[in-house]
Amino acid sequence: MKDAFGAPQSLLVLGGTSAIGLATARRLIARRTRTVWLAGRPSPALESAAAELRELGAYVRTVAFDALDSESHETALGKIFTEGDIDMVLLAFGILGDQGRDEEEPLSAVRVAQTNYTGAVSAGLVCAGALQAQGHGSLVVLSSVAGERARRANFIYGSSKAGLDAFAQGLGDALHGTGVHVMVVRPGFVRSKMTAGMPEAPLATTPDAVAEAIVTGLRRHSETVWVPGALRVVMSALRHVPRPLFRRLPV
Amino acid sequence: MSVDTVSLTGWGRTAPTTALRFRPRTYEEAAVAVRGCGPRGSIARGLGRAYGDAAQNAGGSVLDMTALNRIRTIDAATGLVVCDAGVSLHRLMEVLLPLGWFVPVTPGTRYVTVGGAIGADIHGRNHHISGSFSRHVQDMELLTADGGIRTVRPGTALFDATAGGMGLTGVILSATLRFQPVATSLMSVTTERAVDLDDLMARLTASDHRYHYSAAWIDLLARGRATGRSVLTRGEHAPLHVLPARARRTPLAFRPGQLPVAPALVPHGLLGRTSVALFNELWYRRAPTYRIGELQKLSTFFHPLDGVPHWNRVYGRRGFVPYQFVVGFGQEEALRRIVRRISRRRCPSFLAVLKRFGNGDPGWLSFPMPGWTLALDLPATLPDLARFLDELDEEVATAGGRVYLAKDSRLRPETLAAMYPRLPEFRALRAELDPDGAFRSDLSRRLGL
Ligand SMILES: Cc1cc2nc3c(=O)[nH]c(=O)nc-3n(C[C@H](O)[C@H](O)[C@H](O)COP(=O)(O)OP(=O)(O)OC[C@H]3O[C@@H](n4cnc5c(N)ncnc54)[C@H](O)[C@@H]3O)c2cc1C
Ligand SMILES: NC(=O)c1ccc[n+]([C@@H]2O[C@H](COP(=O)([O-])OP(=O)(O)OC[C@H]3O[C@@H](n4cnc5c(N)ncnc54)[C@H](OP(=O)(O)O)[C@@H]3O)[C@@H](O)[C@H]2O)c1
């Protein structure tokens, strides 16, 4: 169960090797979390992530999960919930793709869309149903500022996040009053393996800072969290920049 | 029996969860609800005055007991009262005070049910004399996991597990209570100021036994030499002869007043440090240095907050976190350390309450034990409050003390086990009596009770 400060005792990370997901898990273990499920594509990286969290004193299990295989989500994720309550689900999987190549190869663009959007829709709905049945819990969805307004430089990724973001907001409204809380997190540029080697954007942040913002958002029962917080203002301004000008902005 | 799906919290308004709420009007309906509960079990709920998650059950059933509210028999000669568990102490006062009988123990609000009073084994300002609520329970009817109803008497394991057992042994349907005789409905109150914590403890130790009721309001924002400055109020039920002539004509009238409801939306920051400090300062200065024999209404003396319905809203949307602990006699140093830590941290806490407990009662998870108890409320939004309270838990546990479950919403399961040494017996009894977990609550899941 979550305590009065929204700190969960059990956590399920979808995308078990995600830098942001693991930073969040570490922080939550320091609070109240004792059980962690890492769901992801089986790999040595997934196992070593689990081992690292065990070192911190948590009881950790890994489970095979592929965002692209929507058919399997019901069974794979459903099984986790039969073993005990999950107080918080962190939807942390996602791929950035390669905008240049994705524009050339529609199938690789579809892969971005299917991972970030379709995969999240099916996994999100399965988890939301299970949380609703247990009458409590938080579903925390890692969206992105890239979804707030699609940019020329990464509109394939951006559009998938825009879809995810809209989906998660709607889901939050649908679940209002059911005891289940949906929180949409919109980080800016986060230094992680996803962005390794890319030029840093302004207001760049770290997985740890995102994790901290998530913990605070849980305590406050927030519906939307921007990381860093200043992005809320920046993005609401950018949203209203006229198209011809926006096209030429170096963002 | 009405059934609906609701989102519930305790009085502190944190951690809402959703459950199916049943409102039984008869014992049979209550038994039907318990027998029919699904794998997530059921829990009884009274008036929801426990601050944390004790009377909620995510995804399961919650039995709202407030429709089971009949007072069944009153023996006006002996003060023995048989009533349903959903009756409130307010109602019992309304009915019994005119007959010259008063509830044996009352908490800081009248709006608790008899079931909740036994479930949390509540204490009042007379704990040093009268012990906790369960000491005045002659017997009770308990609906257990098998759907049967048992009569439970003091001196049995089931009684000791149920008194303070937070509803986890079953649903209390009714109880026989022993009331105390009173001659009037007024209190004769002695007020005095204590300049600091040591002065306060000395005064309480020296003369508590002379008063039936005793508690001190302590200013936790005062620092330095004034750390722990407080106002003691102690009193007795006023005897008839001290009443003014007019009041003597209706000595037992029960007339609690009510103020306007607290607003639903309170601007954030109203409870800032400065405004709370100012309030505490004014209140300390206003108190007389020493005054005896002041006549007060029962409600003024025992339940000042009940005058403002929904006062918990003043803490705003995010609610608040209460903290109440006890440390035994001989652990005064731990108490001093904790009070110093709280005041050094400048937590905006309204008047906190310090009281000297007397002997404990046998309930396995019953809170009171001989020693010092301090209760305070803190806004849930204070930065880093979670960690600060964890540190206080450590101090309390190291000193052999404990935290009150009716006010908890954040304890760690390990710390709880250290504080309540009889928890293993409680768990064993539950495992035997309720192997499938027909009774569960958010509290029991969070703490592994
Ligand atoms: C302003 C205020 C002041 C307070 N002051 C004090 C104080 O001075 N001393 C003190 O001890 N407490 C105090 N409390 C706490 C309060 O007395 C307890 O939490 C009490 O249990 C509340 O009773 P309730 O009927 O509201 O029960 P709820 O809050 O609804 O439930 C509390 C617990 O009792 C169980 N329960 C309720 N009914 C039944 C039943 N029929 N059968 C089995 N279990 C049942 C529930 O499952 C739950 O675990 C105070 C609370 C408030 C809001
Ligand atoms: N980094 C940023 O700048 C940034 C900014 C805003 C939002 N975000 C979002 O935040 C989330 C986490 O990002 P991060 O920085 O932690 O990235 P990361 O370290 O690269 O993690 C991404 C995770 O997604 C998993 N994943 C990818 N495809 C998958 C699939 N088909 N099935 C299952 N899992 C799959 C990866 O697992 P494998 O180990 O199996 O590859 C990895 O665990 C992502 O949704 C991302 O879009 C990131």
SS (H, E, C) B260-294: CCCCCCCCCCCCCHHHHHHHHHHHHHHCCCEEEEE
Asked if the Cβ–Cβ distance from A1 to B319 is below 8 Å, we say no
User: Is residue B104 less than 8 Å (CB to CB) from chain A?
Assistant: no
| Residue A135 in tokens | 């009458």
What does the alpha-carbon distance between residue B182 and residue B99 come to, in Å, rounded to a whole number? 9
pLDDT band at B279 (very low <50, low <70, confident <90, very high): confident
pLDDT on residue B245: 92
pLDDT on residue B270: 58
Average pLDDT over residues A187-198: 93
The H-or-E segment that residue B93 falls in is helix B89-96
* Range list of H helices, chain A: 19-31, 44-55, 73-82, 99-104, 106-113, 119-134, 155-175, 207-220, 231-238, 243-248
pLDDT at B260 over 70: no
| Residue B156 in tokens | 């049995």
The count of other CB atoms within 10 Å of the CB of residue A122 is 17
Residue B35 CA to ligand 1 center (angstroms) comes to: 24
Chain B positions in Cβ-Cβ contact with residue A5 (cut-off 8 Å): 14, 321, 380, 385-386, 410
Domains and CATH numbers, chain A: 10-246 (3.40.50.720)
**What residues 280-319 of chain B have any CB closer than 8 A to a CB of chain A?**
318-319
Fold exhibited by the domain B186-411: Vanillyl-alcohol Oxidase; Chain A, domain 3 (3.40.462)
Chain A positions in Cβ-Cβ contact with residue B54 (cut-off 8 Å): none
Average pLDDT over residues A63-80: 98
User: Is residue B189 less than 8 Å (CB to CB) from chain A?
Assistant: no
Q: Are B81 and B74 in contact (CB under 8 A)?
A: yes
pLDDT at B319 over 80: no
pLDDT band at A66 (very low <50, low <70, confident <90, very high): very high
pLDDT band at B327 (very low <50, low <70, confident <90, very high): very high
Model confidence pLDDT, tens digit, residues B282-308: 888 888 889 999 999 999 999 988 877
Distance in Å from the first CA to the final CA of chain B: 30
Residue A184 CA to ligand 2 center (angstroms) comes to: 15
Average pLDDT over residues B391-399: 98
What does the alpha-carbon distance between residue B182 and residue A20 come to, in Å, rounded to a whole number? 65
Model confidence pLDDT, tens digit, residues B333-348: 999 999 999 998 888 7
pLDDT at A228 over 80: yes
Dihedral of CA atoms B74, B79, B83, B88 in degrees, nearest 10, equals 120
pLDDT on residue A159: 98
Interface test with B, best of A5, A9, A35 (most B CBs within 10 A): A5
pLDDT at A129 over 80: yes
User: Is residue B15 less than 8 Å (CB to CB) from chain A?
Assistant: yes
DSSP B213-245: EEEEEE-TT--GGGTT-EEEEEEEEPPGGGS-H
pLDDT on residue B259: 57
pLDDT on residue B320: 82
Number of residues that make up chain A: 251
What does the alpha-carbon distance between residue A138 and residue A90 come to, in Å, rounded to a whole number? 8
Residue B309 CA to ligand 1 center (angstroms) comes to: 17
**Residue ranges of the domains in chain B?**
67-182, 186-411
Average pLDDT over residues B141-156: 97
Pairing of strands B61-64, B42-45: parallel
pLDDT on residue B258: 60
What does the alpha-carbon distance between residue B343 and residue A64 come to, in Å, rounded to a whole number? 51
Is the omega angle on the peptide bond into residue B39 within 30 degrees of 0, that is, cis? no
Average pLDDT over residues B173-194: 97
Q: Are B51 and A167 in contact (CB under 8 A)?
A: no
Chain A positions in Cβ-Cβ contact with residue B410 (cut-off 8 Å): 3-5, 7
pLDDT on residue B315: 72
What does the alpha-carbon distance between residue B246 and residue B251 come to, in Å, rounded to a whole number? 9
What does the DSSP 8-state code read for residue B439? B
CATH no. for B67-182: 3.30.465.10
Q: What are phi and psi of B234, to 5 degrees?
A: -130, 150
Model confidence pLDDT, tens digit, residues B18-33: 999 999 999 999 999 9
Q: What are phi and psi of B346, to 5 degrees?
A: 60, 45
Distance in Å from the first CA to the final CA of chain A: 42
Model confidence pLDDT, tens digit, residues B82-91: 999 999 999 9
pLDDT on residue B268: 53
User: Is residue A32 less than 8 Å (CB to CB) from chain B?
Assistant: yes
Asked if the Cβ–Cβ distance from A134 to B59 is below 8 Å, we say yes
pLDDT on residue B98: 96
Share of chain B above pLDDT 70, in %: 96
Q: Compute the radius of gyration of chain B from its Cα atoms.
A: 21
